[in-house]
């Protein structure tokens, strides 16, 4: 599936939900399911420091596909990252670089986020693209 297709699939799923509790529960559950990152990988060079929560991001290049590994001490933040991972994981560096990440605005989740969380989310997307960039140059 292409990134755009995966984004659409995600939006379709989220649109099934009537109220914020269900949407949040969905995100939280995604967070719970995201495979945890080994503690020894949670180092400062992989850390994206947010205002109240911390995010660790790592990636590897396998063949021409990028695999992302991410974690957070906040379950909601982790769920949000899981949305990104689901969309970008296993794609090529070039496709990741070209991906339009504004799909997150259509999820209806952003209205519920404190500005600090929304910022962290944008930062997250930027970081994932940075990883892709390092592979496409390297």
Q: Which residues bind other proteins (CB under 8 A)?
A: 20-21, 24-25, 28, 51-53, 73-77, 112-114, 117
Question: Which member of 1, 4, 41, 51 is catalytic?
Answer: 51
Q: How far is the CB of 58 from other proteins (least distance, A)?
A: 21
Please check whether residue 85 is in contact with residue 70, taking contact to mean a CB–CB distance below 8 angstroms.
yes
Going along 19-124, which residue ranges are E strands?
A: 47-49, 54-62, 65-72
| Residues in CB range of 108: below 8 A, 6 or more apart | 14, 23
Output 25 or 134, the one with its CB closest to other proteins.
25
Q: Is 131 left (phi over 0), alpha (psi -120 to 50) or beta?
A: alpha
Output 11 or 75, the one with its CB closest to other proteins.
75
Is 51 one of the catalytic residues? Answer: yes
Output 8 or 74, the one with its CB closest to other proteins.
74
Q: Which residues are catalytic?
A: 51
């Amino acid at each position: 599936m292409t990134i755009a297709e995966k984004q659409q699939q995600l939006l379709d799923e989220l649109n099934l939900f009537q109220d914020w509790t269900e949407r949040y529960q969905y995100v939280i559950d995604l967070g719970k399911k995201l495979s945890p990152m080994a503690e020894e990988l949670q180092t400062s060079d992989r850390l994206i420091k947010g205002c109240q929560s911390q995010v660790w991001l790592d990636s590897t290049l396998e063949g021409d596909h990028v695999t992302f590994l991410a974690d957070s001490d906040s379950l909601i933040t982790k769920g949000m990252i899981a949305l990104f991972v689901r969309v970008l994981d296993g794609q090529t560096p070039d496709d990741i670089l070209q991906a339009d990440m504004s799909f997150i605005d259509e999820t209806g989740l952003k209205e519920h986020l404190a500005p600090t969380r929304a910022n962290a989310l944008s930062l997250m997307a930027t970081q994932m693209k940075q990883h892709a960039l390092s592979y496409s140059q390297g």
